[in-house]
């Protein structure tokens, strides 16, 4: 996931002209729920309020990645770089879930494109890893239920961070569980370096 990408392009906007070429031109962020027992049980409780860049070597997910937002360049200095989204998946078979992965795809320039999204991942980008967003508790999702993830990306002049929660609903739409917000107020955040 391009975590700070949009924020770091704002200072160069002051010197941009009509001839400025922006690379990348667009990038989109995707998420999908995953089961990753070994990784999850290595985390201490405070780490389950955080997110990590990680090589997900041992995990399982029958879910398709869903796009949650997109950024395009050039941005305008007044653009709000914060985002929020909610996406849902129907659970076809009972499954234990430990969180979700965050990935991205990117159009660099013209037809030059790359992706670390599971459904169309470029094999040449083996050193680009997804973010892992842990759940505070592992969740056994019943067959026929629906999992919804709500996620926000908050961007200020000083910091960028994500907050997330999940809802599990039965087949009738009744809420079985609604988690608390994870990483509330950006306990884990990326500090932006101010231009001097």
Is 114 within the bounds of a domain?
A: yes
Is 109 within the bounds of a domain?
A: yes
Is 121 within the bounds of a domain?
A: yes
According to the 3-state scheme, what is the secondary structure of the chain?
CCCCHHHHCHHHHCCCCCCCCCCCCEEEEEEEEEECHHHHCCCCHHHHHCEEECCCCCCECCCCCEEEEEEECCCCCCCCCCEEEEEEEECCCCEEEEEEEEEEEEEEECCEEEECCHHHCCCCCCCCCCEEEEEEEEEEECCCCEEEEEEEEEECCCEEEEEEEEEEECCCCCEEEECCCECCCCCCCEECCCCC
Is 190 within the bounds of a domain?
A: no
Neighbours of 192 (CB within 10 A): 17
Instruction: Tell me: pLDDT of 2 over 80.
Output: no
pLDDT in tens, 25-37: 888 999 999 999 9
Q: For the whole model, what pTM was predicted?
A: 0.88
pLDDT in tens, 109-157: 888 888 999 998 888 777 789 999 999 999 999 999 999 999 999 988 8
Is 30 within the bounds of a domain?
A: yes
d(CA 191, CA 80): 17
Domain CATH code at residue 77: 2.70.160.11
- pLDDT value at position 161? 94
Instruction: Tell me: pLDDT of 13 over 90.
Output: no
**Omega within 30 of 0 (cis) for the link into 74:** yes
Is 174 within the bounds of a domain?
A: yes
Residue 42: which domain range? 5-12+22-183
Is 188 within the bounds of a domain?
A: no
Is 104 within the bounds of a domain?
A: yes
pLDDT in tens, 66-112: 999 998 887 776 778 899 999 999 999 999 999 999 999 988 888 88
Number of domains in the chain: 1
């Amino acid at each position: 996931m391009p975590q700070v990408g949009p924020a770091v392009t704002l200072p160069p906007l002051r010197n941009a002209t009509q001839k400025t070429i922006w690379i990348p031109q667009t990038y989109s962020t995707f998420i999908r729920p995953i089961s990753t027992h070994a990784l999850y049980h290595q985390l201490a409780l405070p780490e389950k309020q955080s997110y990590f860049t990680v090589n997900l070597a041992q995990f399982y997910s029958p879910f398709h990645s869903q796009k949650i937002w997109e950024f395009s360049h050039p941005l305008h200095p007044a653009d709000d770089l914060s985002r929020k989204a909610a996406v849902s998946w129907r659970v076809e078979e009972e499954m234990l879930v430990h969180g979700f992965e965050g990935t991205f795809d990117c159009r660099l320039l013209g037809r030059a494109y790359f992706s670390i999204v599971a459904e169309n991942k470029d094999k040449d980008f083996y050193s680009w890893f997804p973010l892992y967003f842990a759940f505070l508790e592992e969740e056994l999702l019943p067959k026929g239920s629906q999992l919804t993830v709500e996620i926000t990306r908050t961007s200020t002049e000083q910091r960028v961070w994500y907050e997330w929660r999940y809802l599990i609903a039965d087949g009738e739409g009744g809420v079985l569980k609604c988690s608390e917000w994870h990483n509330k107020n950006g306990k884990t955040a990326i500090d932006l370096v101010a231009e001097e």
